Chains A and B, each alone.
With several copies, the nearest count.
Chain A
Amino acid sequence: MDWGKLKFFLGEVTRNFSRNTGMQMTAIGTVAITIVLLGMFLFVRAALADVGASLLAKIEISAYLSPDATPAQIHAIGRFLAQDPRVESAQFIPKRQGLAELRERTKGTIDTALLTENPLPDKYRIKVRATEQVPSVAAEVRRLTGVANVVYGQQVVQRLLQLGAVLRRIGIVVIAIFFAVAGIIIANTIRLTVFARRREIAIMQLVGATNTYIRLPFICEGLLDGCIGAALAVGLLAVARATLWPRLLEALPWAQLTATPLDARVLAAELLAVGAAIGIVASWIAVGRHLRT
């Protein structure tokens, strides 16, 4: 390696870079904005996924036992539930506890003193690992002898499942759009810088520079744009996370947002990689297109 050449090349890149600061700012700013949006999106998606999980964790199946179920039947149901890998936990709730809970829930508006006998049946309270399995577990339990009725938030579960699917699909579309937007904007920015230097490029070609030789500084420029923009974005996101996120958590304590939904370092590395990749690909395309003509 000829160090003078490397120095020349680096000098070239830094010169290009520092010459048209306005244009570099544009490209960097665009990358930064795009990656801030992307990072925000990933972060919020992760946070919402946790919210969804904690909401779904609350969905439980109540399996009411028929009043004439024998203790052996009740035991058999308990064993069945304990064996089922889909079931996270199953708890036997005798009718007395059920009444106490009902009284608690209705906050004393039901006058339990008026009850001559407990009108509630015994039940199992079942938690399922994956929400998608709630309907099938419920249907199987319903078929066990000794089970009178199975109740769960059918509607709620269905709605959450639907919402989850729709959100996931929207999420994928939005991510794709963001990537396309970022790519297009950066490619265009670099295409414009290439356009602004079309005379210079033509001259370099006339002097005998190969296309690779001409392309390389632009690619490096794109790479630098991408990396600096991504670094800026990561910095902004870190600041936002340190200042805004706690306030949001505080404002919505009941939403049970996870305080740290993503590994910050992994996300930062990913975003930097995305920035670098966008910069390289966009400049490659932008310069390639121009040099082909």
Chain B
Amino acid sequence: MIALRGVSLVYPNGVRALDDINLEIAKGEFVFLVGHSGTGKSSLLRLLYREARSTAGEIVVDGIRVDRLRRNRIAALRRHLGVVFQDFKLLVDKTVWENVAFAMQVTGAHTRDIMRQAPRVLDLVGLSHKSRMYPTELSGGEQQRTAIARALVNNPKILLCDEPTGNLDPANTTEITALLQRINLKGTTVVVATHNQAVVDRMRRRVVRLDDGRITTDEERGYYYLGLGQTQVLSG
């Protein structure tokens, strides 16, 4: 489903964010991306939806050579992906409902389908009662849940989540995690970049660990810390 082979990313300012990344993610997998702040997690995700373009290497997403994608085909790629951005990236002049509907609208979806699907995802993230509010009128966590709803609305084949629970309380975090798990069970490939040790340690799924732009470990059923659950670390 996703394959990176020898991928490097050097930003225009000279920062080498990713260095010789080799990673295969199969259809239906659930992958955590962990690592220190500034280690390249967001950069890796950015390559997949072509917000950034790799400096070297080969990237295939859903059969598409993303690194070679022509500019006018990028929109089509992004429509098949659901992305939860680390900084939410909500449209401030659109309501919660409109933000979510908009993501369907651009795919050319039928209004009938939008009217059915948008309320459904808003309900999933627990924001039905705020659907008429603007992002500036939302709390941080509500904004984050709006971003999640928008990423889900198109039933994407691949879901990329960048720190999706950074502004959520544990209860909400648990719910959103359960939601991601359910979506994954329906066959969607899910990649989550996160610092939330509790989430990673509870789920015990594949964990890809980045350090300074390189993949250092890749475990099938991993913890946030190499081989250690948080209970051991914190209350051991």
Interface residues in chain A, defined as those with a beta carbon under 8 Å from any beta carbon in chain B? 2-5, 7-8, 15-16, 19, 200, 202-211, 213
Contacts and interface: CB of A to CB of B under 8 A. Distances in A.
A207 B102 CA distance: 9
Contacts of B115: 4
Given A4-B110, A8-B105, A206 B51 contact: yes
9 contacts: A4-B111, A8-B101, A15-B93, A19-B93, A207-B103, A208-B78, A208-B103, A208-B107, A213-B106
Contacts of B78: 205-208
Contact of B112 (A4, A7, A204, A211): A4
B123 to A, nearest CB: 21
Given A4-B111, A213-B75, 5 more contacts: A2-B111, A200-B93, A206-B49, A208-B75, A208-B103
Contacts of A202: 89
B17 to A, nearest CB: 18
A8 B112 CA distance: 12
A143 B170 CA distance: 110
Contacts, number: 59
B188 to A, nearest CB: 17
Please give me the 9 A-B residue pairs with the lowest Cβ-Cβ distance, nearest first: A4-B111, A208-B78, A208-B79, A209-B106, A210-B75, A203-B89, A207-B103, A208-B75, A208-B106
Interface residues of B, number: 29
A98 B74 CA distance: 89
B61 interface: no
B90 A203 contact: yes
A208 to B, nearest CB: 4
B158 interface: no
Nearest to B90: A203
A104 B78 CA distance: 91
Interface string B19-53: 00000000000000000000000000000010100
Contacts of B106: 204, 207-210, 213
B223 interface: no
B137 to A, nearest CB: 15
Interface string B89-123: 11111000000011101110011101100000000
B83 A206 contact: yes
Contact of A8 (B49, B51, B79, B111): B111
Contacts of A15: 93
